[in-house]
Amino acid sequence: MTTKIGIRDLTRNISILDKEDFIEIEDKKTKKIKGAFVSAKYLDDVKKLIKQKEQEERKRKLDLIMKFAGAFEVEDRFKDKSYKEIREMIAKEKYGE
């Protein structure tokens, strides 16, 4: 069974957590969902779902990064140089010593 309750209602009647399987906690003024309570019998399922969702998001971001990985070649003169050393080399070439 699912229910929507306000934060104030939850603090006044904490026993509602024992009666319900899923509770949406809502800010009554703004009508925005602030969180949710899931009973212990569904806890493992919800954890698996969240973990799966996080893995999908990481994979999506990694795939986006990997599209560009290896797309550029580093010039030989910049290999094995730090960012600072590369900036110095470019500045010397551009403006002289």
- Write the pLDDT tens digit of every residue in 76-96: 888 888 889 989 988 988 887
The pLDDT of residue 52: 97
Query: Would you state the pLDDT for residue 97?
Result: 67
- Dihedral sign for Cα 39, 41, 43, 48, please: negative
What are the residue ranges spanned by the domains of the chain? Answer: 2-38, 44-95
> What CA dihedral angle connects 46, 49, 50 and 51, to 10 degrees?
120
pLDDT of residue 71: 67
What is residue 45's predicted lDDT score, i.e. its pLDDT?
94
Query: Could you report the average pLDDT of every consecutive run of 10 residues in the chain (97 residues)?
Result: 86 87 91 91 93 94 81 78 89 84
Phi first, then psi, for residue 38 (nearest 5°) are -120, 130
Residue type, position 41, single letter: K
Per DSSP, 5 falls in state: E
Q: Which residues contact 7 (CB under 8 A, 6 or more apart)?
A: 25, 26, 27, 28, 34
* pTM, to two decimals: 0.56
- Bridge partner residues of 5 (DSSP): 25
